[in-house]
Amino acid sequence: MALALDPQAALDSVRAAAQALPETGEKISHGIPAFEVAGRMFAYFRHDHHGDGRTVVCVKTSGREEQDLLIEADPDLYSWPAYIGPSGWIAMAIGQPDTEWAHVEDRIARSWELAAPKRLLEAGGR
């Protein structure tokens, strides 16, 4: 197994991707970094959540069907996040040096689109 990426470096990459999107804010929610647009969360950063040993970013999906498809297609990348999975969220593993950051950035942007108010989407969004 490859050496894990420094969690701070992973958070820095998530933060850069999230903050590149319009009207994004960051706060601590339940002890972890969370990113929101217009008061709606669209990404959470988790490292070793309840001792699971993983570094992930949790992002919104369109719902259970998409969650199931993603996990089935790539169970090493996608997983069911504790607590927020039933609300349509998916966890993406970002703790390895070979993380495909362009893909992660795209998923963060899609999650932003699911949370953003209509006025931002109509204005061209991202």
How many Å separate Cα 80 from the centre of its chain?
12
Distance between CA 119 and CA 86 in Å, rounded? 27
Within a domain: 86: yes
**Token reading at 44:** 């959470």
Residue ranges, the chain, pLDDT below 70: 1-3, 124-126
- Number of domains the chain is built from: 1
In terms of residue numbers, what domain contains 68? 7-116
How confident is the model at residue 121, as a pLDDT? 86
How confident is the model at residue 1, as a pLDDT? 42
Contacts of residue 61, Cβ cutoff 8 Å, sequence gap at least 6: 67, 70, 88, 89, 90, 111, 114
Within a domain: 1: no
Within a domain: 122: no
Half-sphere exposure of 75 (CA within 13 A, CB side): 1
Within a domain: 18: yes
**Token reading at 123:** 């204005």
pLDDT single digits (tens) 69-81: 999 999 999 999 9
How confident is the model at residue 3, as a pLDDT? 55
Within a domain: 19: yes
Within a domain: 44: yes
Within a domain: 58: yes
Going by C-alpha positions, the residue among 68, 54, 56, 62 that lies closest to residue 111 is: 62
How confident is the model at residue 124, as a pLDDT? 66
- CATH number of 13's domain: 3.90.1150.30
Within a domain: 53: yes
